[in-house]
Homo-oligomer: A and B are copies of this chain.
Amino acid sequence: MSIRQDVHSSGIPVLCQSCEARHRGVCGALDADQLVGLAKTSSKHQVEAGVELVGDAETVGSYSNVLSGVVKLTKSLSDGRQQVVGLQFAPDFLGRPFKAESEINAEAATPVALCSFPKTVIERMMKESPGLEHRLLKQALNELDEARDWIVMLGRKSASEKVASFLVLIARNIDPAANASAPSASFDLPLTRSDIGDFLGLTTETVSRQLTRLRAERVIRIENNRHVIVDDMKRLEQRCGD
**A141:B96 contact, CB within 8 angstroms:** yes
Interface size bracket, A side: 35 or more
Residues of chain B with a CB closer than 8 A to A96's CB = 141, 145
**A151:B144 contact, CB within 8 angstroms:** no
The answer to whether the Cβ of A200 comes within 8 Å of any Cβ in the partner chain is yes
This chain's copy number in the assembly: 2
| Cβ distance A205 to chain B, nearest Cβ, rounded Å | 16
Residues of chain B with a CB closer than 8 A to A78's CB = 241-242
A147 with B151: in contact, given A78-B242, A241-B78, A242-B77 (CB under 8 Å)?
Answer: yes
Mask for A26-69, Cβ within 8 A of B = 1, else 0?
00000000000000000000000000000000000000000000
A147 with B147: in contact, given A156-B81, A242-B78 (CB under 8 Å)?
Answer: yes
**B156:A83 contact, CB within 8 angstroms:** yes
| Cβ distance A137 to chain B, nearest Cβ, rounded Å | 5
**B77:A241 contact, CB within 8 angstroms:** yes
Residues of chain B with a CB closer than 8 A to A140's CB = 137, 140-141, 144
The answer to whether the Cβ of A183 comes within 8 Å of any Cβ in the partner chain is no
| Cβ distance A115 to chain B, nearest Cβ, rounded Å | 21
The answer to whether the Cβ of A157 comes within 8 Å of any Cβ in the partner chain is yes
Q: Which of A190-240 contact B (CB under 8 A)?
A: 198, 200-201
| Cβ distance A147 to chain B, nearest Cβ, rounded Å | 4
Residues of chain B with a CB closer than 8 A to A118's CB = none
Query: In this complex, what residue of B is CB-closest to A202?
Result: B155
The answer to whether the Cβ of A104 comes within 8 Å of any Cβ in the partner chain is yes
| Cβ distance A96 to chain B, nearest Cβ, rounded Å | 7
**A148:B77 contact, CB within 8 angstroms:** no
Q: Which of A134-159 contact B (CB under 8 A)?
A: 134, 136-138, 140-141, 143-145, 147-152, 154-157
- Sample of 11 more A-B contacts, CB < 8 Å, known A81-B156, A85-B151, A150-B151: A77-B157, A82-B156, A83-B155, A86-B148, A98-B141, A140-B140, A144-B144, A154-B154, A154-B201, A155-B201, A156-B201
